[in-house]
Amino acid sequence: MHSAGRVRLLIVPGLHGSGPDHWQSRLQARSPGALRVEQADWSVADMARWSARIEAALASDQRAQWIAVAHSFGCLALAHHGLLAVGRSRLRGALLVAPADPRRFGCEDQLPAGALPFPSLLVGSRNDPWLRFEDARGFARRWGSGFIDLGAAGHVNPASGYGAWPGIARLVERERQRLAALERPQRASALEWDFAV
């Protein structure tokens, strides 16, 4: 059991970062204590460097209960972090929204072949131009993640109508509830992902 600490969000953007209209930026602005992973060059998808930046961000507050909220290539970098941090990750949960296709970046062999070392939920879109829906569902199975079918949501970004996205706040709140339940095991009950996002 981890010692109780305040819950903080780790925002993990994808390639080119998340602009001010992106739901990640809006979520960060509404979440006290949220921290964005910054990259030296947002235009270069370097798995090792991006993963190292995630590790450094998590290390900046070792008492926090971290929940990562990743998008696109950020999901791949976060999964790579999980591969390297088995048994020592500071993450208590992760939301993986619209992962990118690792084949586009030649990094398939840098991703975990099994479950991530932290609880996770993957949100997939049926018409995501960056990853086939079947592959998104496959990643969820492979990584031991819960799965949400968001329907035809494009790449779940402002261009596909997901600048303001109230559903992400509800998913984060569910993660907060799950962590609170872990601190009170006698009152914990299973949380189901059966709500509209």
Q: What is the mean pLDDT of residues 33-60?
A: 96
pLDDT of residue 5: 73
Within 8 A by CB and 6+ apart from 21, the residues are 158, 163
Model confidence at 170: pLDDT above 50: yes
Report pLDDT digits (tens) over 121-149.
999 999 999 999 999 999 999 999 999 99
In a domain, 194, yes or no: no
Residues in CB range of 63: below 8 A, 6 or more apart: 3, 5, 6
pTM above 0.85, yes or no: yes
Question: Token digits for 92?
Answer: 């208590």
**What pLDDT, on the 0 to 100 scale, is given for residue 194?**
45
Is 149 a member of any domain? yes
Q: Cα 37–42–45 angle (5° rounding)? A: 95
Dump pLDDT digits (tens) for 61-103.
999 999 999 999 999 999 999 998 877 778 999 999 999 999 9
Is 89 within the bounds of a domain? yes
Sheet of strand 35-36: strand arrangement:
35-36, 7-12, 65-72, 91-99, 120-124, 146-149
Q: Which residues pair with residue 67 across a beta bridge?
A: 9, 93
Which pLDDT does position 89 carry in this prediction? 79
User: Is residue 1, in this structure, part of any structural domain at all?
Assistant: no
Three-state secondary structure of the chain: CCCCCCEEEEEECCCCCCCCCCHHHHHHHHCCCCEECCCCCCCCCCHHHHHHHHHHHHHCCCCCEEEEEEEEHHHHHHHHHHHHCCCCCCEEEEEEEEECCHHHCCCHHHCCCCCCCCCEEEEECCCCCCCCHHHHHHHHHHHCCEEEECCCCCCCCHHHCCCCCHHHHHHHHHHHHHHHHHHCHHHCCCCCCCCCC
pLDDT for residue 2? 44
Query: Would 56 be classed as within a structural domain?
Result: yes
Residue 117 dihedral angles phi and psi, to the nearest 5°: -85, 20
pLDDT-derived band at 193 (thresholds 50, 70, 90) equals: very low
pLDDT score of 4 more than 80: no
What CATH number does the domain containing 169 carry?
3.40.50.1820
Would 109 be classed as within a structural domain? yes
pLDDT of residue 183: 78
Sign of the alpha-carbon dihedral angle for 48, 51, 53, 59: negative
Number of domains in the chain: 1
Quick: pLDDT tens for 12-40: 999 999 999 999 999 999 999 999 999 99
Q: What is the pLDDT of residue 184?
A: 73
Q: Note every long-range contact of 133-139, with CB atoms under 8 Å and residues 24 or more positions apart, other chains counting.
A: 135/101, 136/98, 136/99, 139/79, 139/96, 139/99
The residue range of the domain holding 66 is 7-187
> Is 11 inside a domain boundary?
yes
